[in-house]
Amino acid sequence: MGPALTNTQLFRFAVSDPIPPTPRSDRPFMSVIMSTYNRGALLEDAIRSMLAQHAAITPPFELIVVDNNSTDNTREIVLDRFARVDPRVQYLFESQQGLSYARNAGIRAARAPLVAFIDDDVRAQPDWVAAIARAFDEHPDADVVGGRVLPIWPTAPPAWLTRDHWAPSDRRHCGASDLPCGCGGMPPDVVRRRRAFRH
């Protein structure tokens, strides 16, 4: 394990293989901020889903993984498996624990005009980035774009999750007939223009 990290530290790597680095003069069009704490077992799938995006967009997006003072192998996963081989991935260490601290650190490090939050247990659909880019292109006055967050059950839903826990009203926003509470129509994992954070 590497040296202990203190406060907020950002790691960017300039690599040439397998993906050519983005020139420093080119800002990414979107910064995706993924906050995480001791969830190395889930984190890798979440990162891979972002790197598997089918968007051929120039400049590309950047993925900032904010390690919120984890004690597991989060740092090694992000640095060794992703950041050193893909210039889109950055590792950011935030020692002050709490989601708001982690997200604010990510916002400060973000270089793009669009800022997205995605959780460390989410698997983004392959067209997620392309759909966001298209939505902002079609609605240039919009400051916020959101979408559905649907549960992925590794097995059958637990017995205690009865239909009373489901939120049929979300069909108005998402077109879904039923969604569980907590996977609502306007989740926190939305994409905002950077200017929206100043209001």
Q: What is the pLDDT of residues 6-25, one digit of tens each?
A: 455 554 443 333 333 334 44
The pLDDT, as a whole number, for residue 194 is 78
Distance separating alpha carbons of residues 62 and 30, to the nearest angstrom: 6
The answer to whether residue 186 scores a pLDDT higher than 90 is: no
Cα separations in angstroms, 112 against 2, 116, 150, 177, 182: 29, 10, 27, 35, 28
Does residue 3 form part of some domain?
A: no
User: Could you report the per-residue pLDDT of 59-86, keeping only the tens digit for each?
Assistant: 689 999 999 999 999 999 999 999 999 9
Does residue 2 form part of some domain?
A: no
Mean pLDDT of 179-197: 62
Q: 10 Å Cβ neighbour count for 110?
A: 23
The answer to whether residue 125 scores a pLDDT higher than 70 is: yes
Does residue 1 form part of some domain?
A: no
197 residue type, one letter: F
Q: In terms of residue numbers, what domain contains 74?
A: 8-148+186-198
Shared domain for 101 and 139, answered yes or no, is yes
- CB-based contact 125:46 (threshold 8 Å): no
The total of structural domains in the chain comes to 2
The pLDDT, as a whole number, for residue 199 is 55
Residue 28 CA neighbour count, 13 Å, CB half: 24
Q: 10 Å Cβ neighbour count for 12?
A: 16
The pLDDT, as a whole number, for residue 185 is 44
Mean pLDDT of 83-109: 95
- Tell me which residue of 177, 8, 189 sits closest to 109, measured CA to CA: 8
**Beta strands in the chain, from DSSP E residues, in sequence order:** 8-11, 30-36, 62-67, 89-94, 114-117, 144-145, 191-193
Please state the pTM of the whole predicted model.
Answer: 0.74
Shared domain for 143 and 165, answered yes or no, is no
Q: How confident is the model at residue 133 (pLDDT cuts 50, 70, 90)?
A: confident
